[in-house]
Chains A and B, each alone.
Chain A
Amino acid sequence: MIEIRKQEIIPSQEDAFALQGISSGSKVSSNIILLFDQAVKIFAEHAQPVGIIAEISKNDFGIIYAGEGRNETDTPVAEIFQKADRLALFATTVGQGLHDKINELFVNKDFALGSMLDSVASAGVEKAADVLEAFFGSTVTRGIEDDKNIAVMRYSPGYCGWHVSGQRKLFEYLKPEEIGITLRASYLMEPLKSASGVFIAGGVDIHFFADTYSFCSQCETHSCRERMYRIEHSINASEPGEQPASIDKRRKE
């Protein structure tokens, strides 16, 4: 079990606003800013972030990834995990208390604040997963001199061709019940504000691919692009002009 500090997972205005359908750079009223500030305050009071990580071999992950045999035929995870240096399963939550608080606000007809808190909590879960990802990344790169050449990306059942039924085997291996996350028959996690999946650590080259899988056309976020951009950016920040040749070949903007 990994305790996560609340201060580390307070989301940015931009992240919470994006979930409210407010795009970056939009001019928003003072009412909206006030709602965000109130939601963050409630989040800081009620969030109980906690996470769990378990390193896993490629063989074991292969079994977990195959799940109930319902994945898409070609997926980025299926390609990438075989080339990884290390893999870890993870799960994280910001707790049931926040979910209850959101419901309470709706019951009291504080719809705008309830909805903003919902977005802050969702963005907070992503930040909690970021914290775990960074933690795993640091264990992978510990002692490696050329650590800039190692990157971690995460994937979750229900996304990128990994069928949500994959949650079942992931839960059997990881046992997130220990930190209070349970799985419903519909593969939904409770508390709702939770995330789970796999961290894939390896050379930066392995993480780049074109978003042309059959299911990518249905994808609303194309979040893999942003994550690749972040990896690319972190390489370029330290070694300007240097870029793995494979990135250009396989990247599709």
Chain B
Amino acid sequence: MDILRQIALVLQRGDSSGINELLQQALDNKLGPREILDDGLIAGMNVVGDRYKKHEIFLPEVLLAAKAMHVGMDKLKPLFLKDEVPSRGRVVIGTVQGDIHDIGKNLVAIMLSGAGFEVIDLGKDVPPKKFIETAVEQNAKVIGMSALLTTTMPVMKKVIGELKEKGLSGRIKTVIGGAPVSEEFADHIGADGYGYDSVQAVDCIKRLISAS
């Protein structure tokens, strides 16, 4: 089995310690970091996402793979030239103002960076202004917002409204998620996308970015 397939398989198993060794072997075999990233790590992570969607594996297995992905990225990143650092686009993410639940948001951030996005995680209790200012400053393509309380959901609407007022809604897309949030609510407030869970949120962001 070639080394890239082995990397993809070890990643699917969530074997973080095995990844480092295989990456070193691949580098010793003169494979480039981009090839290792695309055909090894990201290829493996794509399989994990597909299997999760088909209910063949569960969230903990996705997260074990995500850790292996991060371990691999930490090893590969220094090998890319500064302007070559791989990115599918920048995403600003956070839990909206008033809400301090961040597990769901953290999972989306982990999955996004595993899928090759640059994630700017604003943390929790993030005011609308902060989302917008950061997205503009960082030239982000997407703002991802999470809420776990029905009382904080209106903040999402506020962010979307302010983007519209500033004429930024076409340039910066919005994706929302969280336990009380639904596709209906996303449509109602004019969000560009809705993620039921972390894997779906990543899919949604991929779609939005490739369409833009």
* Chain A contact residues, CB within 8 Å of chain B: 20-22, 26, 28-29, 31-32, 35, 102, 106, 109-112, 114-116, 118, 158, 164-165, 184-188, 190, 192, 218, 220
CB contacts (< 8 Å) of B151 on chain A: these are 164-165, 186-187
Asked if B179 and A22 make an inter-chain contact with CB atoms under 8 angstroms apart, the answer reads no
CB contacts (< 8 Å) of B99 on chain A: these are 186, 188
B98: contacting residue among A22, A102, A185, CB under 8 A: A185
CB contacts (< 8 Å) of A164 on chain B: these are 149-151
B149: contacting residue among A35, A106, A187, CB under 8 A: A187
Asked if A31 and B107 make an inter-chain contact with CB atoms under 8 angstroms apart, the answer reads no
Asked if A32 and B101 make an inter-chain contact with CB atoms under 8 angstroms apart, the answer reads no
A-B pairs with beta carbons under 8 Å apart, 16 shown: A20-B58, A21-B59, A26-B58, A109-B67, A111-B66, A111-B67, A111-B106, A112-B63, A112-B64, A116-B60, A158-B150, A165-B151, A184-B98, A184-B100, A185-B98, A188-B100
Residue of B whose beta carbon sits closest to that of A26: B58
B60: contacting residue among A35, A102, A192, CB under 8 A: A35
Asked if B63 and A111 make an inter-chain contact with CB atoms under 8 angstroms apart, the answer reads yes
CB contacts (< 8 Å) of B152 on chain A: these are 186
B61 at the interface (CB under 8 A from A): yes
B103: contacting residue among A35, A112, A118, A188, CB under 8 A: A118
Residue of A whose beta carbon sits closest to that of B182: A218
CB contacts (< 8 Å) of B110 on chain A: these are 111
B206 at the interface (CB under 8 A from A): no
B179: contacting residue among A184, A190, A220, CB under 8 A: A220
- A-B contacts counted at CB < 8 A amount to 77
Asked if B67 and A110 make an inter-chain contact with CB atoms under 8 angstroms apart, the answer reads yes
CB distance from B64 to the nearest CB of A (A): 5
Asked if B58 and A186 make an inter-chain contact with CB atoms under 8 angstroms apart, the answer reads no
In whole angstroms, what is the CA distance A112 to B71 when docked?
14
CB contacts (< 8 Å) of B57 on chain A: these are 29
CB contacts (< 8 Å) of A20 on chain B: these are 58-60
Residue of B whose beta carbon sits closest to that of A33: B60
CB contacts (< 8 Å) of A102 on chain B: these are 103
Excluding A22-B58, A32-B58, 11 further A-B contacts by CB distance (< 8 Å) are: A20-B58, A21-B58, A29-B61, A109-B70, A109-B71, A111-B67, A114-B103, A115-B107, A158-B150, A188-B99, A220-B179
B197 at the interface (CB under 8 A from A): yes
B107: contacting residue among A28, A109, A111, CB under 8 A: A111
Interface string of B143-161 (1 = CB under 8 A from A): 0000001111000000000
CB contacts (< 8 Å) of B149 on chain A: these are 158, 164, 186-188
B14 at the interface (CB under 8 A from A): yes
Residue of A whose beta carbon sits closest to that of B14: A31
Residue of B whose beta carbon sits closest to that of A122: B103
Q: A22-B58, A26-B58, A188-B99 are in contact. Are A31 and B150 (CB under 8 A)?
A: no
